[in-house]
């Protein structure tokens, strides 16, 4: 995911700078139903480590609510960020 604005995560004192980040959503399969179903068990973002973890990637856990908040803030593109075609989602390209 590309974040255009810095963001924070609950339980982590660092402000994470804008940039490209890998987000991992773990799910577990719910058995015993008449249909295929999954439940989200955890959400992580991988960020560059600091201090003694410099040069390594850290996996930080956060809630789905935090992800929705981050995505909402990210949709508010700053005025100084180019808004070319590359910044648009496929659905916005069709409008």
**How confident is the model at residue 92, as a pLDDT?**
45
Of the listed ranges 8-17, 32-41, 79-88, the one predicted with least confidence: 79-88
**How confident is the model at residue 81, as a pLDDT?**
52
User: Is the confidence at residue 13, as pLDDT, over 70?
Assistant: yes
CA distance 95 to 90: 9
CA distance 85 to 8: 27
Is residue 56 within 8 A of residue 47, CB to CB? The reply is no
DSSP 18-70: SEE-EEEEEEEE--SSSS--EEEEEEEEEEE--GGGTTSEEEEEE-HHHHHHH
CA distance 11 to 61: 9
pTM above 0.85, yes or no: no
Percent of the chain whose pLDDT exceeds 70: 80
CA distance 12 to 35: 38
Which whole number is the average pLDDT over 14-25? 90
Q: Which of 64, 87, 65 has its CA nearest to residue 5?
A: 87
Which whole number is the average pLDDT over 4-13? 85
Select the more confidently predicted residue: 83 or 10. Answer: 10
């Amino acid at each position: 995911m590309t974040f255009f604005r810095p963001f924070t995560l609950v339980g982590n004192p660092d402000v994470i700078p804008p940039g490209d980040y890998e987000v991992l959503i773990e799910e577990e399969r719910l058995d015993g139903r008449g249909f295929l179903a999954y439940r989200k068990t955890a959400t992580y973002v991988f960020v560059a480590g600091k201090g003694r973890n410099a040069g390594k990637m850290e996996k930080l856990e956060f809630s789905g609510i935090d992800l929705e908040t981050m995505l909402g803030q990210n949709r508010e593109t700053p005025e100084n960020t180019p808004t070319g075609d590359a910044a648009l989602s496929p659905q916005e390209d069709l409008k």
